[in-house]
């Protein structure tokens, strides 16, 4: 079985031939491994040269990022500084030069660090068909039939409000044992709106809703965040894998969340 | 280069400091090519029309093969040949058969059953790697899944499934026993005198060597019916001999080129990829590459095996360890590879760098339905060292002692007798502890800070081989019919003090001229070799035993761990099994041979280069094989 590669000028054309034995390829950091290892589930690769995939536009405090923007491009873009740290935590330089923000949304654990960060930032997806969807909705039923992601829009967080931590065994290029991203608006030393997202604690990046509620209006100190930490693994389903046991992840998730919350407050 | 501090003040009078290389920084001889990318690894040897070989592997831990359907794959584009187990001329081998250790127990391609996940059952040779992968995916194997066992202690229960038919008790054979014994002194009576008993269990996981370059080989026909093989092996002559044996070709037809290894660490000894590639070249007459991808390297590449150690110490309140007992399990996976040998090395290392007057160990080489285990750096001793040093901390806590002081207190010193009956020399644990304490600002009491490994060792008491209690528990096959405790049993008989061993009686010399003259041995030996196993004497070398009167076989035996590879356990005189009756086996056909060969070895035929006997590889020269 040989692999056939089809290229299209627009993303919409590409999305029309998807399905069956055709897979959409962007950076290829996950898909090319399957190609090299003889995956029998597909024999066509579909790509697109649509320039919209590479755009980065700001509209007010909202930024629209093309799905084909790579981790390296995010690191270099002045308006995407808040995501720079996240992009840098993905793979090594060679991976970052190829891996795209759109592809990261589909990356199974232990990958998907960017998706975790975007979930905390409440990003929205724009599909090639023109439809829009919040990232959270998409992740909740990520096995449903899909279109191709065209771009991602995200609101720039206030300075210091977004915090991110990736825990890995191998530094600096290891995969994530777990990843925490927090968006925290402060009002007079107390917390306002909070979003907490975990990567590696469930099959897909997942919000820690109970912890968010417990942190609402709390003071950011050891005792103030106690309830939040106690509730942070509620609803999570971490895996037992070669990196760590499910038990271990449940034990250390509150520890890392605590470090993140107290680090700059 | 990292900073190295040389403590030349220590043992200054034991070395001359005029060496050109030792103690000086040096550049690895091959590092320039590696860093600049100019090194040619095996995979850089390109051949026109190179074919690619890939294996069909078991998705199950343990399964019988009912049928393999290759009809779909045979007609696929690019497929040149499907390689079946019947294509391997001599499809059973064990790595250490080249030094006469262990029985052949592992097929190159399995035809009857698989005993670990990823075990190969057939292979495809195709024009491209992708075509080979597609054909592998199209081969349908009808599996009958069997119950499997993954835990070492479960595997030695009487009702555990048989993992490896060559060793139907799921245990490697060490002489008469299903484990390697070590006995020194009387652990059981010493434990009763001890103020405290400290027990701990330590479990290690398998560790994959994870080389950057995964295992592989390229073989191509050369002129004069030779096959050239470029390989990543770290053991070129092992790979050559193994290939010659499995494929039943004279080694003169094999031209092996190696020596450039992209990371080995013990994981490239096993010689699996070379016979596969050479077989492919022999069957197709074309250059063939057989190369593990990363997933195969992780799944079927043999790791350092998992080990489980239970240690029991009898300790006095002053911190003296007067007895130490080990029960060790090496998880060797489904086939032997190098685990059996690692155990012998590990047991020789017990009880660690400490002088303990009473030591007993039972160490088991256990077959489980896991990936076969093999060598890794620190062969055979890394796991047990982890266990021992963790346990030393536990003992220190139990007696309320500074852990470094406890180590110095029990450390071996020059002249002390070790449990495997060799005199310790060049010991430096005390000095290591002192320097480590100094570097970490760890306070030591004055008697520990001034201790020396050169002093206070080798006293009559510390240099003697004590009277040793021995037991006959755990003979081969016993565990299949009844539950026997795995830990060392209480001694029922005693070996007099000063006796090194009587069990290890070497085979008599075949020819008088094989007696090595002391003057021709490369190291210093006494002209009159120790015949009577005097106290404190090193165990007699095999050569010194010619005239030794062997103690009668009915006398008590002390199996100890000093077997050398040239006198493997199988060569023990079978008469030493005494009146012991082999219990009935599940698989009578697979029972280990019980050859009552007491007669001294005599060649059956005159020496001629190579032999032509059924069941023996021709390249092997007049070596007795079973």
Per-residue pLDDT tens digits for B315-329: 999 999 999 999 999
User: For strand B79-83 and strand B120-126, is the pairing parallel, antiparallel, or unpaired?
Assistant: antiparallel
Q: Which residues of A touch B136 (CB under 8 A)?
A: 38
Mean pLDDT of the region B280-290: 98
Dihedral sign for Cα A157, A63, A97, A4, please.
positive
CB contact under 8 A, A1 and B134: yes
Q: What's the pLDDT score for residue B325?
A: 98
Is B293 in Cβ contact with A37 (below 8 Å)? Answer: yes
Q: In chain A, whose CA is at the least distance from the CA of B135?
A: A1
Name the DSSP class of B570: G
> CA of B145, closest CA in chain A: separation in Å?
24
Average pLDDT over residues B209-213: 94
Predicted confidence at residue B599, as pLDDT, reads 62
Q: Which fold has domain A51-155?
A: 3.30.465
pLDDT in tens, A157-187: 998 899 999 999 988 888 999 999 999 987 7
Question: pLDDT-derived band of residue A145, with 50, 70 and 90 as boundaries?
Answer: low
Residues contacting residue B439 through CB under 8 Å, at least 6 positions apart: none
Distance from CA of B295 to the nearest CA of A (A): 9
Mean predicted confidence (pLDDT) in B31-53: 94
Highest mean pLDDT among A235-239, B508-512, B556-560: A235-239
Distance CA(B351)–CA(B12), nearest Å, equals 28
Q: In the predicted model, what is the mean pLDDT of chain A?
A: 92
What letter does residue A70 receive in the DSSP assignment?
Answer: B
Band (pLDDT 50/70/90 cuts) for residue B556 is very low
The more confident residue out of B596 and B40 is B40
More confident residue, B561 or B117: B117
**B130·A37 Cβ contact <8 A:** no
Provide the pLDDT confidence category of residue B536 given band limits of 50, 70 and 90: very low
Whether omega for the bond prior to residue B147 falls within 30 degrees of 0, making it cis, is no
As a whole number, the mean pLDDT across chain B is: 85
Percent of chain B residues past pLDDT 90, beyond the cut: 71
Residue B598, pLDDT > 50, answer yes
pLDDT at B567: 39
Quickly list DSSP for B205-234. Answer: --B----SSPSEEEEEE-GGG-EEEEE--S
pLDDT of B407 above 60:
yes
- Which residues from chain A sit within 8 angstroms of residue B127, using beta carbons? none
Which residues from B are below 8 Å from A when comparing CB atoms? 129-130, 133-134, 136-137, 293, 295
Touching B: A residues 18-37, CB under 8 Å: 36-37
Phi then psi dihedrals of residue A244, to 5 deg: -165, 160
Beta strand spans in B375-459 (E): none
Note whether A2 contacts B: Cβ–Cβ < 8 A: yes
Evaluate whether B329 touches B411 at the Cβ level (below 8 Å).
no
CATH class of the domain whose range is A162-263: alpha beta
The predicted pLDDT at position B513 comes to 75
What's the rounded Cα separation, in Å, for the pair B159 and A88? 54
* Domain spans, chain B: 43-146+209-299, 152-207+304-469
The residue ranges of DSSP E strands in chain A, in sequence order, are 4-8, 22-24, 44-48, 56-59, 62-66, 124-127, 132-134, 149-155, 162-167, 178-187, 190-199, 206-207
Q: Give the residue extent of every domain in chain A.
A: 4-48, 51-155, 162-263
Instruction: Assign domain B152-207+304-469 to a CATH class.
Output: alpha beta
CATH number, domain B43-146+209-299: 3.90.1170.50
pLDDT band at A73 (very low <50, low <70, confident <90, very high): very high
Looking at beta carbons, which residues of chain B come within 8 Å of A3?
A: 130
Is the alpha carbon torsion for A95, A97, A101, A102 positive or negative? negative
Chain B contact for A170, CB < 8 A?
no
Please tell me which residue, B543 or B80, carries the higher pLDDT value.
B80
Measuring CA to CA, how many Å separate B553 from each of B502, B549, B610? 8, 12, 36
User: Which residues, 6 or more positions from B306, have their beta carbon under 8 angstroms from its beta carbon?
Assistant: B152, B203, B204, B205, B206, B330, B331, B370, B373
Place of tokens 């084909």: A68
CA angle, residues B345, B346, B351, in degrees to nearest 5: 125
Are A40 and B137 within 8 A, CB to CB?
Answer: yes
Confidence check: pLDDT of A213 > 50: yes
| Chain A contact set for B295 (CB, 8 A) | 37
Q: Which of A162, A55, A177 minimizes the C-alpha distance to A113? A: A177
Instruction: Indicate which of A1, A3, A39, A174 best probes the interface with B, i.e. most B CBs within 10 Å of its own CB.
Output: A1
What's the pLDDT tens digit per position in B427-463?
999 999 999 999 999 999 999 999 999 999 999 999 9
Q: Does A38 touch chain B (CB under 8 A)?
A: yes
CA distances for B195 relative to B35, B321, B325, B411, angstroms: 58, 10, 16, 20
Q: Do A38 and B136 touch (CB under 8 A)?
A: yes
Reported for B34-40, long-range contacts at CB under 8 A and 24+ positions apart, including other chains, are B39/B260, B40/B260
pLDDT band at B393 (very low <50, low <70, confident <90, very high): very high
> Residue A2: which pLDDT band, with cuts at 50, 70 and 90?
confident
Residue in B with minimal Cα distance to A242: B205
pLDDT at B511: 78
The one-character DSSP state at B54 is E
Mean pLDDT of B485-511: 78
Structure confidence at residue B500 (pLDDT) = 66
CA distance A175 to chain B (A): 16
Which chain B residues contact residue A36 at CB under 8 A?
Answer: 293
Taking CB atoms and an 8 Å cutoff, what residues of chain A touch B293?
A: 36-37
Average pLDDT over residues A27-51: 94
Model confidence at B335, pLDDT cuts 50, 70, 90, reads very high
Considering only alpha carbons, which residue of chain A is nearest residue B296?
A37
Q: Which chain B positions have a beta carbon within 8 Å of A174's beta carbon? A: none
A1–B contact, CB cutoff 8 A: yes
Mean pLDDT of B196-206: 96
pLDDT for residue B5: 82
Q: Which residues in chain B are closer than 8 Å to A40, comparing Cβ atoms?
A: 134, 137
Residue B36 CA to chain centroid, in angstroms? Answer: 36
Q: Does A78 touch chain B (CB under 8 A)?
A: no
B616 against B226, higher pLDDT: B226
Give the pLDDT band (50/70/90) at residue A242.
Answer: confident
Could you give the strand order of the β-sheet that contains A178-187, starting from the edge strand earlier in sequence?
Answer: A162-167, A178-187, A190-199, A206-207
Asked if A37's CB is within 8 angstroms of B134's CB, the reply is: no
| Inter-chain touch B133–A2, beta carbons under 8 Å | no
Q: What is the pTM of this model?
A: 0.82
pLDDT surpasses 80 at B179: yes
For range B565-587, the mean pLDDT: 40
Residue B135 C-alpha, separation from nearest chain A C-alpha, in angstroms: 9
Contacts of A170 (CB under 8 A, 6+ apart): none
CB B269, CB B300: distance < 8 Å: no
Mean per-residue pLDDT, A242-253: 94
Which tokens is A209 given? 């809703």
The whole-number average pLDDT for the span A128-148 is 83
If 0-12 CB within 10 Å is exposed, 13-18 middle and 19+ buried, where does residue B43 land?
middle
**pLDDT confidence bin for B563, thresholds 50/70/90:** very low
Look up tokens 């008790």; give the residue.
B169
Closest to B179 (Cα-Cα) out of B3, B47, B391, B330: B330
Whether residues A38 and B295 touch (CB distance < 8 A) is answered with no
On the question of pLDDT at B619 being above 60, the answer is no
Q: Which two tokens stand for residue A85?
A: 């740290």
pLDDT of amino acid A173? 83
Chain A hits for B130, Cβ within 8 Å: 1-3, 38
Q: Which residues of B touch A2 (CB under 8 A)?
A: 130
| pLDDT at position B570 | 40
pLDDT at B488: 95
Q: Has residue B181 got a pLDDT over 80?
A: yes
- Examine the pLDDT at B621 and tell me if it is beyond 60: no
Mutate to test the interface with B, among A37, A174, A241, A242 (most CBs of B within 10 A): A37
Query: CB contacts < 8 Å between A and B, how many?
Result: 16
Question: Chain B: nearest CA to A147, how far in angstroms?
Answer: 28
Q: What is the pLDDT of residue B565?
A: 40
Q: Which residue has the tokens 């096995």?
A: A143
Q: Residue B298 — pLDDT band, cuts 50, 70, 90?
A: very high
Nearest chain B residue (CA) to A36: B130
Decide if B136 and A40 are in contact by the 8 Å CB cutoff: no
Check residue B546 and give its pLDDT.
Answer: 35
Cα dihedral sign, B84-B86-B87-B90: positive
Q: Does B373 or B530 have the greater pLDDT score?
A: B373
As a whole number, mean pLDDT of residues B369-376 equals 96
The predicted structure's pLDDT at residue B558: 44
The C-alpha of B158 sits at a distance from chain A's nearest C-alpha, in angstroms, of 31
Q: Are B170 and B367 in contact (CB under 8 A)?
A: yes
List the structure tokens of A49.
Answer: 């040269």
Which of B79, B133, B297 is most worth mutating to test chain A (most A CB atoms within 10 A of its CB)? Answer: B133
Per DSSP, A40 falls in state T
Phi, psi of B452 (to 5 degrees): -145, 145
């Amino acid at each position: 079985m040989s692999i056939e590669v089809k290229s299209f000028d627009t993303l919409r054309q590409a999305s029309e031939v998807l399905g069956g034995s055709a897979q959409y390829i962007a950076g290829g950091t996950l898909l090319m491994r399957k190609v090299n290892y003889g995956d029998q589930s597909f024999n066509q690769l579909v790509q697109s040269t649509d320039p919209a995939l590479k755009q980065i536009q700001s509209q007010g405090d909202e930024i629209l990022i093309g799905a084909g923007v790579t981790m390296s491009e995010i690191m270099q873009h002045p308006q995407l500084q808040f995501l720079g740290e996240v992009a840098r935590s993905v793979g090594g330089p060679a991976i970052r030069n190829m891996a795209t923000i759109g592809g990261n949304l589909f990356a199974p654990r232990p990958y998907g660090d960017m998706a975790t960060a975007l979930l905390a930032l409440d990003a929205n997806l724009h599909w090639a068909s023109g439809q829009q969807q919040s990232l959270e909705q998409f992740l909740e039923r990520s096995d449903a039939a899909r279109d191709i992601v065209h771009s991602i829009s995200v609101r720039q967080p206030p300075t210091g409000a977004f915090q991110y931590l990736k825990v890995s065994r191998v530094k600096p290029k290891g995969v994530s044992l777990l990843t925490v991203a927090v968006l925290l608006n402060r009002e007079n030393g107390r917390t306002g709106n909070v979003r907490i997202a975990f990567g590696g604690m469930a099959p897909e990046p997942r919000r820690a809703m109970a912890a968010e509620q417990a942190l609402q209006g709390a003071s950011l100190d050891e005792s103030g965040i106690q309830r939040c930490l106690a509730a942070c693994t509620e609803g999570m389903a971490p895996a037992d894998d070669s990196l760590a046991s499910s038990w271990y992840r449940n034990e250390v998730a509150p520890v890392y969340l605590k470090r993140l919350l107290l680090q700059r407050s | 280069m990292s900073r190295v501090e040389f403590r030349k003040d220590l043992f200054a009078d034991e070395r001359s400091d005029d060496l050109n290389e030792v103690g000086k920084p040096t550049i690895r001889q091959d590092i320039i090519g590696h860093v600049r990318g100019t090194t040619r690894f095996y995979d850089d040897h390109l051949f026109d029309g190179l074919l690619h070989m890939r294996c069909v592997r078991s998705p199950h831990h343990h399964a019988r093969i009912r049928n393999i359907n290759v009809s779909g794959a045979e007609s696929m584009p690019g497929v040149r040949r499907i390689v079946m187990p019947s294509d391997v001329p001599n499809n059973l081998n064990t790595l250490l058969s080249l030094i006469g250790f262990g029985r052949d127990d592992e097929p190159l391609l399995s035809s009857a059953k698989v005993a670990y996940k990823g075990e190969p059952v057939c292979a495809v040779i195709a024009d491209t790697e992708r075509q080979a992968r597609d054909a592998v995916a199209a081969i349908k194997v009808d599996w009958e899944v069997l119950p499997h066992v993954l835990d070492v202690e479960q595997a030695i229960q009487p009702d555990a499934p048989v993992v490896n038919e060559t060793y139907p008790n799921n245990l490697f054979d060490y002489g008469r026993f299903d484990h390697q014994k070590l006995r020194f002194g009387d652990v059981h009576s010493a434990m009763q005198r001890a103020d405290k008993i400290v027990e701990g269990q330590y479990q290690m996981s398998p560790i994959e060597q994870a080389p950057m370059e995964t295992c592989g080989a390229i073989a191509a026909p050369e002129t004069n019916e030779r096959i050239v093989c470029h390989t990543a092996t770290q053991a070129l002559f092992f790979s050559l001999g193994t290939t010659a044996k499995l494929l039943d070709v004279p080694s003169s037809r094999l031209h092996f080129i190696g020596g450039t290894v992209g990371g080995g660490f013990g994981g490239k000894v096993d010689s699996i990829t070379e016979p596969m590639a050479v077989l492919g070249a022999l069957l197709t007459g074309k250059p063939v590459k057989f190369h593990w991808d990363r997933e195969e390297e992780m799944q079927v590449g043999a790791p350092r095996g998992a080990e489980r150690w239970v240690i029991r110490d009898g300790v006095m309140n002053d911190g003296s360890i007067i007895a130490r007992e080990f029960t060790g399990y090496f998880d060797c996976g489904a086939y032997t590879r190098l685990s059996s040998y690692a155990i012998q090395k590990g047991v020789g290392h017990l009880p660690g760098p400490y002088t303990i007057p009473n030591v007993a160990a039972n160490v088991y080489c256990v077959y489980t339905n896991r990936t076969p285990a093999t060598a890794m750096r620190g062969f055979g001793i890394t796991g047990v060292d982890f266990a021992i040093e963790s346990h030393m901390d536990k003992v220190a806590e139990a007696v309320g002692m500074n852990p470094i002081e406890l180590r110095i207190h029990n450390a071996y010193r020059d002249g002390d007798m070790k449990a495997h009956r060799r005199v310790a020399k060049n010991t430096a644990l005390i000095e290591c502890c002192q320097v480590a304490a100094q570097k970490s600002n760890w306070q030591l009491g004055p008697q520990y800070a001034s201790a020396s490994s050169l002093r206070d060792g080798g006293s009559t008491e510390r240099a003697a081989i004590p009277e040793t209690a021995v037991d006959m528990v755990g003979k081969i096959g016993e565990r299949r019919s009844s539950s026997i405790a795995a830990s060392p049993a209480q001694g029922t008989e005693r070996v007099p003090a000063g006796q090194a061993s009587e069990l290890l009686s070497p085979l008599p010399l075949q020819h008088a001229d094989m007696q090595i003259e002391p003057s021709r041995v490369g190291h210093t030996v006494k002209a009159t070799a120790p015949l009577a196993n005097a106290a404190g004497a090193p165990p007699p070398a095999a050569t010194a035993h010619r005239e030794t009167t062997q103690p009668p076989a009915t006398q008590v035996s002390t199996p100890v761990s000093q077997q050398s590879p040239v006198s493997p356990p199988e060569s023990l005189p079978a008469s030493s099994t005494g009146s012991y009756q082999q219990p009935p086996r599940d698989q009578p056909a697979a029972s280990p041979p019980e050859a009552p060969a007491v007669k001294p070895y005599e060649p059956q035929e005159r020496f001629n280069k190579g032999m032509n006997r059924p069941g023996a590889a021709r390249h092997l020269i007049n070596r007795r094989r079973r």
